[in-house]
Structure 1
Amino acid sequence: MKVLLLLGFVAVALAEVTRFDGEKVYRLRPKTDEHVAIIKELAGNIEVDFWSPEGAEQVVVSSEVDMHVDAAHTDIVSTLLQQSEMEHEVLVEDLQAYVEDQLDNQETKAYNYMKYNSWDKIEAWISSMASSNPSLISTQVIGTTFEGRAMTVMKIGKQSSSTKPAIFLDCGIHAREWISPAFCQWFVKEAVETYGSDAQMTSLLDQMDVIVLPVFNIDGYAYTWSNNRMWRKTRSRRSGSSCIGADPNRNFDAGWCTTGASSNPCSDTYCGSKPEFEVEVKAVGEYIRRNLFTIKAFLTVHFYFQVVVFPYFYFFQVGAPHREVVQVGEGAAGGLGSLFGPRYTRGPGGTTIFPAAGGFDDWAFDLGGKYFYTFEVGDTGRFGFLLPGSQIKPPWGGAMVAVKYISAHVVGNLF
């Protein structure tokens, strides 16, 4: 009986929803090596959640650091920042209030593209969209997550008796970046609704297929709805460690576990015990290898910068083979800037954002994918990962402009 009671208490503890009362998000601007050392020392002594960059190893002089600190340590951090005379501001005074504001009225009975949707709703939506649009959409299960959820891709395009070239579009590799899966859903909706009326979309889907992975990190995404809104990694477990999950965008075999990644299983940027150790990463990797001949471009959506970037993230050289990639990326970013005012930043990931090894983008590019672009959409950090549902449509529109621009170039350069 005591054992059963203990197991019951453990189950309750595991089901508890994480709250963030009194927790703050600071924006720091380190100007000296001493400032950088202070940030890294903080991260080593207390539990710090880096929003941008994604880990202490990526903090450098003159970078902008968005750092989430729990309530127990906010006074210490504030005092230390003042004493060091490091330039800083408080972006979020009470993180729990932001979480509640974002979740407010998100769940509705009907599927709603103007709100964030839970995984259960997205899964049902995938099935519904395919059954309602059989001439444009087919689905395929490419693997199973650690917790047993089906990883389904949606192939969108005019049916053809022969294999068509394709673009691979993935969203939601980091669990807490909710706007990313929201964009994939919006893209599928727009593709279906505008096919036959929008010349650019019609041309794209007549000549190519767009293979959409609506949520890459499904287990992590589901966990952000049920337990911890700030969860980033997968939900895998391994013997010898109480820490859960790895960063799927550090688990590909591209400079694996070197710059911008951590070998600490408790870190949000944990690279995993070996490349493609995470079952989700393995499933995507095997699917891409099987279909590499037909996949001509890769597009991946993240949150929350305003940038269009391309390989490489794990080293800084941009050689001659990148010239066309650079030009297309600049065109996509320029279009975004003309639409939304401030010009989107563009360039190689390692220098434009921060260095990060083991990414899907660099891996696919090394494998032979000619075009790979990462869109970081959203605001500039005012709400961070907690962008209210009322503000999600503008980033969608921006990403759609960029996707159409790049897709048009790919269609025009298939041979």
Structure 2
Amino acid sequence: MKHFYWTICLLGFLLNKGTCVKVRYDGDQVLKVTPQTEQQVQYLQDMLIQWRLDLWKPDIVEEIYPGRDVHVHVKNSYLQQMKENLVQQDITFKIMIEDVQKLIDRSSVSRRSTEPITLENYNYNIYHPIEEIYTWMTMIKDKYKNVVSRYTLGHTHENQPIYYFKIGWPSSETKKVVFMDCGIHAREWIAVAYCQWFMREILTKQKSDKLIYKLLNQVDFYVIPVLNVDGYTYTWTTERLWRKNRSPQTGDCFGVDLNRNFDAQWCSVGASTDCDSLIFCGPSAASELETKGVVKLFEQVKSNMLMYLTVHSYGRLILLPYGYKKNQSANHNEMMLAANKAAAKMTEKHGEGYIVGSSSVILYDNSGSSADWAADNNISFAYTFELRDDGEYGFELPDDEIQPTCEETLTAMMTLFEYMNETYLGPFDSGAAVGPLWLKIPLAITICLFYAIPL
């Protein structure tokens, strides 16, 4: 299948002045298949492996078991035979997505503007290609330079810069750190959209929201809006459902699953050494430029880091460590307490229920994730957010779902920050802070007048 895609791309390159023809998914469907017996499980696993189908949930065939719903993207050329085989084996299935390409088109073209991008007209309710996100990053850096600094985490295999932001008021005091990565998996566009939404909300409410104002004086937020830049770019230019990065591997293989590449029991479970696999863990732990960049920055700030957040889709889950073992993290109970509060607030926001629990318990076994790696490095709170939805759209979440998804996710994170504030940050003396000058000038004038006027 991959040779077919590259052949198409090469033809497109030759015939279209260097532009690769996009992979299309016309007539492809996503099926929800539910095997009920061990024999049905084995049959389904064999068929998925033989046809190299795109398994959306769970990540690997070994995690299929009786009674578990399986979400699988089936190419149009296999669809009829797949359905006939399932009927013959009496395996229950239903159509989740009727036409994958139509759903992709719905999110790719709607509500796009031809006007030059400004912060005032930047639309946070649509998905943006990397060029527009880079423009947005520059505008954010320039407008909010009093509280935002932009840095380069590193460069990708295709020499694209990976940027991160440090958000927080300058302070002479030691500050806690909250670290967030978004866009590890290329096709999970909602994760990238959320990171932009999060930054917009934090920055526009830096003075009006009491909690945010206090946080920015006592916490530095390190935010990576798009970690997997090459992969994300590739989903826009060539193959929308690409998952990995774009690093060249042996033979004609490309890409490593970055969330299997961290040094957290690397490649032990829920990962593959097959470079063709969507969950290929890479040639070694932290082998990828993207992963190396995260590790380097992490080492610089981990002594003060309190919380690590990684944003993904889909499933409506708040995941705790660990994915590679059933053992709970040292502060599992406290993490559950805070996460359950966050999930309750999410439900209040838009009525969508999110499940809380350890990755290996409520999702599937996996190793090498960034959150598990953070927990292994003694970060007190390491959460993975799996955003909407639970299967109706899968990775093709329409852009009219961006706002409610981001609103409920922001509500959850603010609930976590509220817990962090109440439990770990302590009192805040705004007069002693090296924060915004607009608060200090009136205080300084008042003090000067007090001592200048004779009594």
Is the structural similarity TM-score above 0.5?
yes
Match of 1:72 among 41, 52, 77: 77
Q: In the alignment, which residue of structure 2 is the partner of 1:366?
A: 376
Give 5+ residue unaligned stretches, structure 2. Answer: 1-8, 426-455
Instruction: Tell me, yes or no, if structure 1 residue 19 matches structure 2 residue 24.
Output: yes
- 1:207–1:411 contact (8 Å) kept in structure 2: no
Instruction: Tell me, yes or no, if structure 1 residue 145 matches structure 2 residue 156.
Output: yes
Alignment partners' CA distance in 1, 2:307 and 2:25:
40
Match of 2:303 among 274, 293, 298: 293
Q: SS where residue 221 of structure 2 aligns?
A: strand
Q: What is the identity, as a one-letter code, of the residue corresponding to 2:215?
A: L
- 1:174–1:233 contact (8 Å) kept in structure 2: yes
Give a deviation string over 1:354-376, Cα, whole Å, max 9, x none: 11111111011001111011111
Report deviation, 1:335.
Answer: 1.7
Give a deviation string over 1:174-225, Cα, whole Å, max 9, x none: 0000010100000110011111111222222121111110011110001111
Q: 1:312 to 1:78 in 2, by over 3 A?
A: same
- 1:243–1:265 contact (8 Å) kept in structure 2: yes
- 1:48–1:69 contact (8 Å) kept in structure 2: yes
Alignment partners' CA distance in 2, 1:355 and 1:114:
33
The 5 A counterparts of 1:286-325 are 286-318=296-328, 321-325=331-335
Q: In the alignment, which residue of structure 1 is the partner of 2:442?
A: none
Q: SS where residue 75 of structure 1 aligns?
A: helix
Q: 1:12 to 1:26 in 2, by over 3 A?
A: farther
Give a deviation string over 1:216-263, Cα, whole Å, max 9, x none: 11100011111111010000002x321110100001111211211111
Give a deviation string over 1:355-410, Cα, whole Å, max 9, x none: 11111110110011110111111122111111111121111011101110111222
Paired residue total: 408
Q: What is the identity, as a one-letter code, of the residue corresponding to 1:184?
A: C
Q: What is the identity, as a one-letter code, of the residue corresponding to 1:130?
A: K
Q: 1:106 to 1:219 in 2, by over 3 A?
A: farther
Match of 1:128 among 127, 139, 163: 139
Report deviation, 1:98.
Answer: 1.1
Give a deviation string over 1:7-45, Cα, whole Å, max 9, x none: 975844881210011111101112221222122111211
Report deviation, 1:152.
Answer: 1.1
RMSD (Å) for aligned C-alpha atoms: 1.7
Alignment partners' CA distance in 2, 1:47 and 1:33:
21
Q: In the alignment, which residue of structure 2 is the partner of 1:4?
A: none
Match of 1:175 among 186, 190, 194: 186
The 5 A counterparts of 1:33-112 are 33-105=38-110, 107-108=112-113, 109=115, 110=117, 111-112=122-123
Q: What is the identity, as a one-letter code, of the residue corresponding to 1:187?
A: F
Q: In the alignment, which residue of structure 2 is the partner of 1:351?
A: 361
Give a deviation string over 1:121-154, Cα, whole Å, max 9, x none: 1111111101101111111112111111111111
- 1:204–1:408 contact (8 Å) kept in structure 2: no
Q: What is the identity, as a one-letter code, of the residue corresponding to 1:179?
A: I
Report deviation, 1:323.
Answer: 1.7
Task: Give the number of the structure whose alpha-carbon radius of gyration is greater.
Answer: 2
Alignment partners' CA distance in 2, 1:404 and 1:130:
23
Give 5+ residue unaligned stretches, structure 1. Answer: 1-6
Q: 1:342 to 1:97 in 2, by over 3 A?
A: closer
Report deviation, 1:412.
Answer: 2.9
Match of 2:206 among 195, 212, 230: 195
Alignment partners' CA distance in 1, 2:291 and 2:357:
25
Q: In the alignment, which residue of structure 2 is the partner of 1:165?
A: 176
Report deviation, 1:162.
Answer: 4.2
Q: 1:369 to 1:106 in 2, by over 3 A?
A: farther
Q: SS where residue 110 of structure 2 aligns?
A: coil
Q: What is the identity, as a one-letter code, of the residue corresponding to 1:400?
A: L
Q: In the alignment, which residue of structure 2 is the partner of 1:268?
A: 278
- 2:321–2:329 contact (8 Å) kept in structure 1: no
TM-score, length of structure 1 as denominator length:
0.94
Q: What is the identity, as a one-letter code, of the residue corresponding to 1:202?
A: Y
Q: What is the identity, as a one-letter code, of the residue corresponding to 2:32?
A: R
Q: What is the identity, as a one-letter code, of the residue corresponding to 2:210?
A: A
Report deviation, 1:62.
Answer: 2.2
Identical-residue share of aligned pairs (%): 32
TM-score, length of structure 2 as denominator length:
0.86
Q: What is the identity, as a one-letter code, of the residue corresponding to 1:160?
A: S
- 2:152–2:162 contact (8 Å) kept in structure 1: yes
Q: What is the identity, as a one-letter code, of the residue corresponding to 2:379?
A: G
Report deviation, 1:298.
Answer: 0.6
- 1:106–1:117 contact (8 Å) kept in structure 2: no
Report deviation, 1:342.
Answer: 4.4
Give a deviation string over 1:74-106, Cα, whole Å, max 9, x none: 011101111111121011122111111111235
- 1:247–1:270 contact (8 Å) kept in structure 2: yes
